[in-house]
Every structure is written in structure tokens, then in C-alpha cells.
């Protein structure tokens, strides 16, 4: 049976391939590698806009993640909303829900 959906291997663009150490991976494995890195480097914000509520839902961009985040400019097929992190700076945050957009922008 062929792998489908999120478990189907995809081709990674150069920056993501360097980050993950592989040229092809399923989206689930890519997301797991990102989360492992985020947690190991304590890159979940402890406060967002000065408040602690929901702060863990935000990811702080460090130099390594910034390469991936800055490649992200995608338009939602369902809403038409554009997610654009091309101008994001080190230390700024994105929502954990936006991580899927980052993955999508960094695969072929």
C-alpha cells in the first residue's frame, strides 16, 4: 500500500534539507524534527505580549529557524490569507499553528 497524506515522503528544499539532514521525509517527520529542535533549545515563548497565557503556543525564531521562516510566503487555498515571514527577525515569534505553513513553503 502506497504512503499517502502526511506520511508520504516529500522533497525538501535546500535549507530544510540541511536542517533535517535528509532530502526527502514525510511531513510528520519534518514537523517532529522541528519540534525536537524547538524544545531542545527552549524556543517556546514564555510570554506573548507580556502575558503568560498561551505563551507556549508561540515559537521564537533563532538564527537556525530564521532561515526556514524567512523562506515562508504562502497563500492559503481555503481563505486566501497570505502568511509572510520573509521579514521576520531573530527573536520574533510565530504561532505554532503557522509551523505547517513553514513546512509547506520549504518543500517541493
Could you tell me the CATH number of the domain that includes residue 85? 1.10.245.10
**What is the distance between the alpha carbons of residues 21 and 26, in angstroms, rounded to a whole number?**
13
Q: Residue 15 has what pLDDT? A: 97
Q: pLDDT tens for residues 40-59?
A: 999 998 776 666 666 678 99
pLDDT above 80 for 106:
yes
pLDDT above 90 for 2:
no
**What is the distance between the alpha carbons of residues 82 and 72, in angstroms, rounded to a whole number?**
10
pLDDT above 90 for 3:
no
For the chain, how many structural domains are there in total? 1
Q: pLDDT tens for residues 52-100?
A: 666 678 999 999 999 999 999 988 888 998 999 999 999 999 999 899 9
**What is the distance between the alpha carbons of residues 100 and 98, in angstroms, rounded to a whole number?**
5
Q: Residue 56 has what pLDDT? A: 73
What predicted TM-score, i.e. pTM, was given to this entire model?
0.86
pLDDT above 80 for 102:
yes
Would you say 71 and 105 are in contact if contact means Cβ atoms under 8 Å apart?
yes
**What is the distance between the alpha carbons of residues 107 and 11, in angstroms, rounded to a whole number?**
6
- 3-class secondary-structure state, position 75: strand
Its domain, for residue 18, covers 5-105
Amino acid at each position: 500500500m502506497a504512503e499517502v497524506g502526511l506520511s508520504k515522503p516529500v522533497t525538501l528544499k535546500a535549507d530544510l534539507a540541511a536542517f533535517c539532514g535528509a532530502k526527502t521525509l514525510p511531513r510528520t517527520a519534518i514537523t517532529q524534527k522541528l519540534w525536537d529542535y524547538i524544545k531542545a533549545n527552549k524556543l517556546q515563548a514564555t510570554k506573548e505580549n507580556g502575558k503568560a497565557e498561551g505563551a507556549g503556543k508561540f515559537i521564537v525564531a533563532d538564527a537556525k529557524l530564521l532561515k526556514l521562516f524567512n523562506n515562508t510566503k504562502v497563500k492559503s487555498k481555503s481563505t486566501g490569507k497570505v502568511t509572510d515571514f520573509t521579514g521576520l527577525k531573530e527573536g520574533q515569534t510565530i504561532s505554532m499553528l503557522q509551523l505547517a505553513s513553514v513546512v509547506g513553503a520549504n518543500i517541493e
